[in-house]
Amino acid sequence: MNVELDVEKRLQALVAKDRIRVKEFFLDFDKLRKGVVGEAAFRTCLGTLNIKFHESEIQALLAKYQQPDGPRLVNYAQFCKNIDYVFEDPSAANTVILGAQSSANFNENDMD
């Protein structure tokens, strides 16, 4: 499994388990509601989710969601849409949580 999918699965499991809406963390950084934030804001928001990320995981997410041209902006709206997919189907949440528990990168505290 590639790095960004693994970290996204861990995040999906976290938001499903704790019923967290990730988008709320980004809104303070996006005053104009354009769906993008700077790299520093993206990193700050990830830090508030209470998951320890390896730098390689953050870099993989940045590579996936960074805007192709212009300043270093990250499309958090698409990121949140991908993470919040677990709320669209009630059975998806359990599947994601169980799948993430078997991940080698899932720490013991998150598995409880």
3-111: CATH, from 1.10.238.10, 3.40.1010.20, 3.40.720.10, 3.10.20.740: 1.10.238.10
Alpha carbons within 13 angstroms on the beta-carbon side of residue 84 total: 12
Taking only the tens place, the pLDDT of each residue in 55-72 is 999 999 999 999 887 678
- Structural domain spans, the chain: 3-111
pTM: 0.76
The average pLDDT across 26-43 equals 94
What confidence tier does 19 reach under pLDDT thresholds 50, 70, 90? Answer: confident
Is 102 a residue whose pLDDT tops 50?
A: no
b (16+ CB within 10 A) / e for 41-79: bbeebbeebebebeeebbebbbebbbeeeeeebbbbbeb
b (16+ CB within 10 A) / e for 101-111: eebebbeeebe
